Amino acid sequence: MRALLLFGIVAALVVAGAARAENRLAFVVGNDAYRSVAQLQKAVNDARAVSRSLQQLGFKVTLGENLAWRDYVEKFSIFENSIQPGDTAFLFYSGHGVEIDGANYLIPVDAPKVAPEQQSLLKDVSISTDNLIQRLKARGTRTQIVVLDACRENPFRQASGRSVGGARGLAGANLPGGVFMIYSAGVGEIALDRLSDSDGNPNSVFTRSFLPLLENPDNSLIAVAKQTRAAVKSLASSIGQTQSPAYYDEIDGEIFLARGSTPSSLLPPPVPPTPTVPATPPTIRSDLPPPQPQPSPNRDFIFPDSDRIRLTRDMLSGLSATQLRIARNEIYARRGRYFKDPMLAQYFSRFTWYRPYTWDVPLNAVEQANVALIASMER
């Protein structure tokens, strides 16, 4: 009896430990509203978009916008204390950053305009990326993913060309084990906020390229980094600029964030469940009257998994033209797209998950394929 009791306790501890190891937490910051240096336009939008994506990937997200130094330190301290051994931590920062003496520092919105001889002052009022990583490492994180969209022109550069730290970009990374880092540009390069003054995309060139790839279940972190680099290089070259995101990998094996949090290059890809269409598809009137909301979020969708699972013609064959239209547009709605069509806007606005924020939303590879397939069957 005593042996069975001991076995039960050990088994419970093993299960609890495994459950703890699956926890995912993210600290996401976007800084636009700088008080003493050049303001930015896309950083807060980037942070919000990243937060939404990470929440879909199972992360508990702490979001900070336009953080002063004290706000940043206090918010990160709370986040740090929530980390337990075995957790996966994701750090994202969009805003100004500089390299000083080979180390990288993130600039809070209340940082003063400093002269070249005040380099030590800037260190004291900024956030060291090395310090953030080491603090989380000390908490026992199994995996850290650090994404820095901070490779912009040094905001402290003077007309004479002198500056505090490097003139542009961030320094290369020297990381401890278990850390994966990606920069929005290569060492010494500047990251583009936008392609032109008429560029209406709410996100930076890096973030708009990065997020759809991160959400693709077929992509490992390394694949995300490489494909993001290719996409950003192509966009930058279209306006005669050079931007080539760099990444640094100190993780054994591969991680597929859109599948799960276990790093291993040996695990075979999981077989996704095949979605089924009800024998009688949901009835939707052509004038799209607002029916009563269903208690389950999955019942709010014709295809609740169309962001993760490829649809087939057989799954779509029983739907009416109106239902096909809804199925196609719910892919965009899930991403937060506004609709000019008042019927679509009325239909999706009755759901609590629909939170529109932009006209142009990024789609992952699965979503793009599903939109194309549904559109082909609407003709």
Q: Round to whole Å and give the CA distance between 349 and 343.
A: 10
- What contacts 3, CB < 8 A, 6 or more positions away? none
Using an 8 Å Cβ cutoff, are 333 and 361 in contact? no
Query: Of 263, 212, 247, which Cα lies nearest the Cα of 52?
Result: 212
Where helices occur in the chain by DSSP H, the ranges are 2-21, 43-56, 69-82, 119-124, 129-138, 205-214, 221-237, 313-316, 321-335, 342-349, 365-378
Instruction: Tell me the pLDDT of the chain (379 aa) as tens digits.
Output: 444 444 444 444 444 444 444 599 999 999 999 998 888 989 999 999 999 999 999 999 999 999 999 999 999 999 999 999 999 999 999 998 887 777 888 999 998 887 666 677 878 888 998 899 999 999 999 999 999 998 666 665 544 333 444 444 454 455 667 889 898 888 777 888 888 888 888 899 999 999 999 999 889 999 999 999 999 999 989 999 888 898 888 888 888 998 754 443 333 333 333 333 344 444 444 444 443 333 334 557 888 888 888 998 888 887 888 888 899 999 999 888 888 887 888 888 888 788 887 788 888 988 999 999 999 888 7
Q: Round to whole Å and give the CA distance between 123 and 102.
A: 12
Q: Round to whole Å and give the CA distance between 65 and 31.
A: 6
| 18-249 shares its CATH topology with 297-378 | no
| 144 burial level (CB within 10 Å; 0-12, 13-18, 19+) | buried
Using an 8 Å Cβ cutoff, are 64 and 72 in contact? yes
Domain 297-378, CATH 1.20.58.1690 — does that match?
A: yes
Q: Is 51 helix (H, G, I), strand (E, B) or coil?
A: helix
Using an 8 Å Cβ cutoff, are 94 and 149 in contact? yes
**Tokens standing for residue 268:** 């075979």
Which pairing describes strands 103-106 and 127-128: parallel, antiparallel, or unpaired?
Answer: antiparallel
Q: Round to whole Å and give the CA distance between 45 and 356.
A: 13
Look up the CATH architecture of domain 18-249. 3-Layer(aba) Sandwich (3.40)
So where are the chain's domains? 18-249, 297-378
Amino acid sitting at position 273: P
